[in-house]
Structure 1
Amino acid sequence: MGHEISGDPSTKGVVRVPEGFSTYETWPFECLHCLRVWEEEYLVRRQSDGHGNDVVIWTREGTQVQPPWSGMFCPHCGCGSVTTFPTGYLAHHAEITARAAAVPPALEAAGRRHPTPLLPYALLAISLLVFTGVEMYGQAIRH
């Protein structure tokens, strides 16, 4: 049927399949932790396995990788909470790309540290306000 098994004994079991096609795709991403926005370019090879099934191989810089929606980590903070946008999204929203590229060096360095947790400070502030309020109420009742 157009697919044949090679007769060469050194390639026993190898099935010749029709050539597929390759395309370059640029995928935009955003880190949900540090809000970094960036793009990755993939070479996507689509072909048939000879049994009617489609095979898609994703490569980046010559190395086979997982598809963009699987296992992406932020190159800035290393977080695995990453979302994708529709292909070409950032081309139509250049201000996002420009804003992400224009991060001052001081903020760049600060972004590498973990943010200070606010909950302990908020609880301390609330406690002080409650204590002060109780003291003021006590003073008002005595007079």
Structure 2
Amino acid sequence: MREGVSTRETWPFECLHCLRVWEEEYVVHRRDDEHGNDVVVWTREGVAVQPPWSGTSCPGCGCGTVTTFPTGYLAHHPEITLGRPALQIPAEEESSRGGWWFTSHGLVTLALLLPAGLGLYERITAH
């Protein structure tokens, strides 16, 4: 590789699962190879990593559904708190929500399958 330019970039992220907001700093090395093609290498703490828009996981919950903000966005939006804790749902509320979800979908599934099963049973026994 030939001589190039290295810059520091700070990327703000938000987890779309737990709503945690954080920033990560990268050093970006931009150079041309022997054939004149652009080569970009992203590093964090001296280790080559994927670019911020690829393969980032939430440090709070580990979810890979993460979005980025434009550089400098958080500086202009003080209402967004960096490192805010992940969204906490009390255990009793989470279990009641989960139970309701399964119950309601289970009832709908049962209501749809019973008539279909009854019709199939009548066809089989009629022959």
Segments of 5+ residues of structure 1 without an aligned counterpart are: 1-16, 128-143
1:79 counterpart = 2:79: no
Relative distance call for 1:27 and 1:120 in structure 2 (3 A) is: same
1:91 counterpart = 2:70: no
DSSP-derived class of the 1:118 partner = helix
Deviations 1:86-115 (A, max 9, x none): 1111111122025x44x4xxx78x57x8x4
Q: Which residue of 1 aligns with 2:113?
A: none
TM-score of the superposition, structure 1-length normalised? 0.61
Larger RCO, structure (CA 8 Å, separation 6 or more)? 2
Q: Choose 1 or 2 for highest CA Rg.
A: 1
Deviations 1:26-61 (A, max 9, x none): 101000000001100000000001211000000011
Where has structure 1 moved over 3 Å in runs of 4 or more?
none
1:117 shift after superposition? 6.2
Q: In structure 2, how many angstroms separate the alpha carbons of the residues matched to 1:58 and 1:89? A: 21
Q: In structure 1, how many angstroms separate the alpha carbons of the residues matched to 2:3 and 2:79? A: 40
| Stretch moving more, 22-31 or 84-93 | 84-93
Segments of 5+ residues of structure 2 without an aligned counterpart are: 108-127
Q: Aligned to 1:60, which of 28, 37, 44?
A: 44
Q: Which residue of 2 aligns with 1:35?
A: 19
1:3-22 to 2 correspondences below 5 Å = 17-22=1-6
How many residue pairs get aligned? The number is 101
1:90-129 to 2 correspondences below 5 Å = 90-97=74-81, 100-101=83-84, 103=85, 110=88, 115-116=94-95, 118-121=97-100, 123=103
Cα RMSD, aligned residues only: 2.5
Relative distance call for 1:26 and 1:117 in structure 2 (3 A) is: farther
1:83 shift after superposition? 0.6
